[in-house]
């Protein structure tokens, strides 16, 4: 995927997720299924995942190179990166630490929605400023995937929000079938 499509997909997937969460009633927004995260917690998790990425991309690129080095391999394809992530999940990989959401109440929905919209818009703007070479040469650490290129981090971010939208829909579907 080239930069333009990455930016479009980031926008499209986050827009879809935000619209879906926004359509939920207060009951559905706070509902949990078998101790799984509520829709509000899913939204908070996505925010918690994107915010440090946006902060890191605000750093001068030489700082990223000093902190993390530079790529010594080509970027994986979108499909290969998603498969690697799914394998990590299958072997027990889960969000930890600062990426685990707290309880989110319906009254927090609008504020969280605005915050997520802002950081996702900033992320798209940052991607548009990067060159194709920077996407492949700069690396960052991912909690489950290790050091990955910025292109792979964007692939992950595209998939990640879609993944959590599907989890939210599935959990609410199970609750409605009860």
Residue position matching structure tokens 């080239």: 2
Query: pTM value?
Result: 0.94
Residue 178 has pLDDT above 60, yes or no: no
Both tokens assigned to 116: 């997520």
Query: Measured in Å, how far apart are the chain's first and last C-alpha atoms?
Result: 41
CATH number at residue 103: 1.20.120.450
Q: If we measure between CA atoms, which residue out of 127, 158, 174, 123 comes closest to residue 4?
A: 127
Residue 176's pLDDT band (boundaries 50, 70, 90)?
A: confident
| 63-74 pLDDT tens trace | 999 999 999 999
Q: Which residues contact 107 (CB under 8 A, 6 or more apart)?
A: none
Residue 177's pLDDT band (boundaries 50, 70, 90)?
A: low
Q: If we measure between CA atoms, which residue out of 31, 16, 13, 43 comes closest to residue 110?
A: 43
Report the domain count for the chain. 1
pLDDT mean across residues, the chain: 95
| 28-52 pLDDT tens trace | 999 998 889 999 999 999 999 999 9
155: containing domain: 3-177
């Amino acid at each position: 995927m080239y930069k333009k499509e990455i930016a479009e997909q980031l926008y499209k997937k986050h827009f879809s997720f935000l619209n879906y969460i926004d359509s939920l009633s207060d009951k559905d927004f706070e509902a949990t299924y078998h101790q799984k995260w509520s829709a509000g917690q899913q939204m908070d998790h996505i925010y918690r995942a994107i915010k440090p990425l946006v902060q890191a991309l605000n750093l001068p690129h030489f700082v990223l190179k000093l902190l993390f080095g530079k790529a010594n391999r080509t970027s994986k394809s979108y499909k290969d990166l998603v498969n690697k992530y799914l394998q990590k999940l299958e072997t027990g990989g889960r969000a930890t630490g600062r990426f685990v959401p707290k309880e989110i109440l319906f009254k927090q929905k609008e504020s969280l929605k605005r915050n997520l919209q802002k950081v996702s818009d900033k992320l798209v703007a940052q991607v548009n400023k990067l060159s194709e070479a920077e996407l492949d040469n700069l690396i960052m650490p991912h909690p489950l995937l290790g050091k990955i290129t910025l292109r792979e981090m964007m692939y992950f971010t595209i998939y990640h929000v879609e993944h959590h939208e599907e989890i939210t829909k599935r959990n609410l579907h199970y609750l409605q079938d009860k």
